[in-house]
Each structure stands twice: as C-alpha cells, then as structure tokens.
Amino acid sequence: MTKQELIENIKSKKSFLCVGLDTDISKIPEHLLDDEDPIFSFNKAIIEATADLCVAYKPNIAFYESYGVKGWESLRKTCEVLPKDCFSIADAKRGDIGNTSKMYAQAFFNPASSGLNFDSITIAPYMGKDSVTPFLEFDGKWAIVLALTSNHGSLDFQNFQNKEGQQLFEEVIDKVNTWGSSENIMYVVGATRGEAFTTIRKHAPDHFLLVPGVGAQGGSLADVCQYGMNKDCGLLVNSTRGIIYASKGKDFAEKAREEAVKLQKEMQEQLEIHGVI
C-alpha cells in the first residue's frame, strides 16, 4: 500500500484506527476453543466486524510464535483474510544485522517463501542501518521504526541527551530519515507521550506515526491529535484490548464492533477539527 492510498483510505473511512490482533487463546471466548483453529476463528470474526471502521490491522507476532507451528499457521490464515484496503502490520520488532534482517524481510514480505505478505513490519533500530534497510529493499513495503515508546523501560535509553541537548529518539529519527522517506518509513510513538509529539513532528513532519497506547494504556486521542496530526492525518492509532476483548461471550464480535464505532466517531471528529476531511 502506498502512502497516498493510505491517506485516501483514511479520508474515505473517516478513521485512522488500527486494530491490534494480540490474540491470547486464554482470553478468547470459550465457545471458540472447540474450533479447529480457535485463534483464526477469533481473528476472522473480529476482522469481519471491524473492517469498514479501521484502516489497519496489527498482529503482534509473539502471540503466534508462542504456539509454534500451529501459531504460524493461524498467522498465515489471518494474513490471507485481511482486507486488501487495510494496511497490514507485522508487529515483530525485529532488529538484527544485515543478513539476518534480509531473512526476516523474506519471512514477512515474501509470500512465495513464507506464505506471509504484510505491508510493513515494526523494527528496533538499535543495531543501526543494517537492521532497517534490508526491509526497504522490497518495493511497496514499509519499515515502522521504534522511536519513542510509552513503556516504563523506555526511560532507560530513549531520552538520553547528547552534548547539544538532543535526545536519543531525536537522533534515531534524524538518522533513519537518511535511509528512506515518508513513503516507506513510519515511526512508533507511544500515545502517552503527549506534547513529545511536537518534538517528533519537528524531525518527521510528513511521516506516518504508529501510535499504541490509546484506551487501556491511558493515552489520550485528543492529545495525540493535537500534537501529532499533520495535514494528511499522519497517524495510525492502535487499539487492541479495548476492542478485541470487549466481551468474552458469543457476542464478542458485536461488542468489538461497538467499541470500534466509538473510536471511529472520535477519530472522525478529530479529522474534521484538524481540517483533514
């Protein structure tokens, strides 16, 4: 998916919602456990219930890897049923040297070898250029680079300042910007970072930002939009637990849709306030 296609989809659906598919078999409705593939059954129902309300889906790969071969098969089947008009994100947070990164890129971007065909992958850039650029060698694919996250441990490194007072996450963005463009690179910025989005936008004014942490983690959608939205929206705001686990009953998909509708309406309001639509 191109940047312009993503922008057009946001304007068409009046939404910049990304639904996280962090599917934990211990949390899905019990009646699905008798299915041949409970994880896929759950994902398919969530996707069908929310596809017209969101512009992206983000399976967290750890939730599939933990089940071994069966988990990978659930992921493959989930990837196949993701709507073509929705941006797909492999939330894998890979980050290794060049040869290994090339194999990771093959795993998530080359359906001929792995059966997976995601639009993008999240990447930890600690090992530098080697860990990012192999993913950019695939036409039409995106690297979503960790910049400023909202977990407590992020304070261990991300806010370190150099002698000029620039923080590490700022240096990361500036360096990564030299390896690609806003057409194939996004950044992860936690929703709880509030006014830090203003700093992020000084370094990445035109890039899309993937924003986890709205809802269950306490991030404010209004704050994210106030400080982070650009003329094209430039945001993919992720919600996981608040949507996919809205109910543990047979009405789980219906309740998931209700929660997605609430977020979509809030997002439409923000898009109108900021003049995107």
Which of these, 184, 200, 212, lies nearest to 6 by C-alpha position? 184
Among residues 11, 44, 77, 93, the one annotated as catalytic is 93
SS (H, E, C) 60-128: ECHHHHCCHHHHHHHHHHHHHHCCCCCEEEEEEEECCCHHHHHHHHHHHHCHHHHCCCCCEEEECCCCH
Helix axis angle, 221-228 to 252-273, nearest 10°: 40
Residue type for position 159: N
Look at the alpha carbons of 266, 269, 271, 277 in this order and tell me if their dihedral is positive or negative. positive
Question: Within the chain, how many helices (H) and strands (E) appear?
Answer: 12, 8
Which of these, 44, 66, 189, 186, lies nearest to 121 by C-alpha position? 186
Which of these, 146, 134, 141, lies nearest to 93 by C-alpha position? 146
Q: Under a CB-based contact definition with an 8 Å cutoff, are residues 54 and 34 in contact?
A: no
Q: Under a CB-based contact definition with an 8 Å cutoff, are residues 177 and 185 in contact?
A: yes
DSSP codes of every residue in 184-241? TEEEEE-GGGTTHHHHHHHH-SSS-EEE--BSTT-B-HHHHHHHH-BTTB-EEEEE-H
Whose tokens are 């969530």? That residue is: 46
58 catalytically annotated = no
Q: Give the residue numbers marked as catalytic.
A: 93
